[in-house]
Amino acid sequence: MECSSLYGFLAAVYRTEPTAELLRWIRDPDSLDLLADTGVDLGTSFADHAEDELIELLAVEYTRLFIGPGNHVPPYAAVHLGGEGALLWGRPTVWVKKYIEAAGFEYRPDYHDLPDHISAELEFMREITAREAAALEKRDPAEAGQLRAVGSEFVASHLSLWIPKFCDLVIDRAELTFYRGMAALTKDFIESERANTIDSRESENLKRREI
């Protein structure tokens, strides 16, 4: 699965309870093979459940995990970066909003959640990586480089600082294989993106020293 598609898929996973459309895509044999290639095995029970039953099970799990009440896992950066007693609309929320807007992006008019919801941040990266790929395809390395820099900075300075912690909590508290698998995939992907950013910076520094 290409980078922008994976960001988009994960954004959809965390945005709301799984829709029938998303579920059908996931249960398609080709999609299951793609997920298996990333190390995600949803098990036979995922494929065996009737669609309506599975949608209901996942909706209950989504609410319990990410909305509450109770010991849920808030899907907001500010909660995980703000330390003990952190609240919504903290400094990380403001930083994310300013960063995304400074990069030339806007939140959709119908988006009413907080700027630092995990789905909004992953959707931002989906757009960044998709535009970078389009710039490379039209042979515009300058634009591609600018977009790559924006995305890499966002991963290194923000996403990699809270999403792996968030994913660990989801893995620990999830009752269904689906959300444990999605959280493990998300953590591995963000950590891989972070490693690629470091490797890219080291390569750039080496080139500068050689020059």
The per-residue pLDDT for range 89-121, each reduced to its tens digit, is 889 999 999 999 999 998 888 888 999 999 999
In terms of residue numbers, what domain contains 100? 3-210
Mean pLDDT of the chain: 89
User: What would the mean pLDDT of 66-76 be, rounded to a whole number?
Assistant: 92
Cβ of 152: how many Cβ atoms within 10 Å?
A: 18
170-180: pLDDT as tens digits: 999 999 899 99
C-alpha of 23 from chain center: 18
Q: Quick check: pTM over 0.85?
A: yes
**Number of folded domains that form the chain:** 1
CATH number of the domain that residue 177 is part of: 1.10.3480.10
Rounded distance between C-alpha atoms, residue 44 and residue 53, angstroms: 15
Strand, helix or coil for residue 117: strand
Residue 6: phi and psi, rounded to 5, are: -70, -40
